[in-house]
Amino acid sequence: MIRLSLLILSVLSSSAAVSQETWQFLNLPVTARQAALSGSTGLIFQETDGFAGNPSFVKSAQPNDVGLTYTSYLADIKMGSTFFVQDFPFFGRTALTATYNNYGDFTGTDILGNKTGTFTAYDLVLGFTSSVDVAEFIPLGMSVKWINSSIDSYQSYGLAFDVGTHFYLEEEGLLFTGTLKNAGKQLSGYRISEKLPSKFNLGMFKSLKYMPVSFGVELDDVSRLANDTSNLTDYLILSGKLKASQNLVLFASSHLGFRNEIKTSGGIDLSGLNFGASLKVRSYLISYSYANMGIIEGIHRIDFGMNISQYLN
């Protein structure tokens, strides 16, 4: 059952590697809007939760922003996360984050197959994100993440880093991004030493001047592309955003390689397509996403966010 849960997480993260099963959860989307955009966050770089995909976006968040998210995956896997944004001395605009994955209860047995009780498995990530300007209009952000995986009484933990930057041409509505994700090291393993699922992404995003429409393309895991014979399109994330009103925004996206893996033949197939929306009402923000997983169940995710200062005022 543990292997089944890890396999599902590998499928969800769309970049599975047998030697990296423990840490595949690090590539799962953290927020609903990120999930609606297939893990890409270039289209929400000026929003509170954009830093979840690129730490250089953290300056777009507002002090006292708070976010909560909950997801129910397959096989009784549940995920929750929270973040808090504040200005701190020496660090400036900073986000503190916590993400928790719970894989449910499992039945323990001895070597003869006799039941010995139940046990649980979970993952925990504690993060700290900040950003500095290394040149005019070019910020450099970093997330430091303490990561822990637990199965019953066994523990595995490590330290991971995300580094991101972006360059925004406001007049042209063009945004260029670069992100190194999950660099770091496992400090203690279960039985074997495992590498973290690090990857480097490049993205380009465009906002139309006279229409409330934005779209983007992101190249997922450039380093793996250099050593793979797959088509370039298998590494592309296509995303789009429609600002339907001042407070309502709609999203759609697809990781083309992941879609090719799970789609069925014949007819109209929405497998591998993600959709979502966010609604802002005063100091509150509610976001929702749906991921079509083909013959597997679809995944629903919902977020709730608010700005404490605006609420108190």
Q: pLDDT at position 104, please? A: 80
Q: pLDDT tens track of the chain, all 313 residues? A: 444 444 444 444 443 333 447 788 898 888 899 999 999 999 999 988 899 999 999 988 888 888 888 887 666 778 889 999 999 888 889 999 999 998 888 777 778 777 878 888 889 999 999 999 888 788 999 999 999 998 888 889 999 999 999 999 999 999 999 999 999 999 887 777 888 999 999 999 999 998 999 999 999 988 777 666 668 888 999 999 999 998 999 999 999 888 888 777 666 677 889 999 999 988 888 999 998 877 767 888 888 888 777 666 6
Q: Tell me: the pLDDT tens digits for 25-40?
A: 898 888 899 999 999 9
What is the pLDDT, as a whole number, of residue 267? 60
In contact, 212 and 49? CB cutoff 8 Å? no
Asked whether 95 and 67 are in contact (CB, 8 A), the reply is: no
CATH of the domain at 80: 2.40.160
**Residue bearing tokens 């793979």:** 228
Residue from 270, 256, 255, 172 nearest 214 by CA: 172
> Domain residues for 275?
2-312
Helices (H) and strands (E) in the chain — how many of each?
5, 14
- Structure confidence at residue 220 (pLDDT): 92
Q: Cα(244)–Cα(260) distance, rounded to whole angstroms?
A: 30
- Residue in the structure block whose two tokens are 């209009």: 137
Residue type, 88: F
The closest alpha carbon to 124, from 182, 65, 80, belongs to 80
The pTM score is: 0.84
- Sort 36 into a burial class: Cβ within 10 Å, 0-12 / 13-18 / 19+: buried
The total domain count for the chain is: 1
CA distance 210 to 189: 53
**SS3 readout for 205-254:** EEECCCCCEEEEEEECCHHHHHCCCCCHHHHEEEEEEEECCCCEEEEEEE
**Per-residue pLDDT at 12:** 45
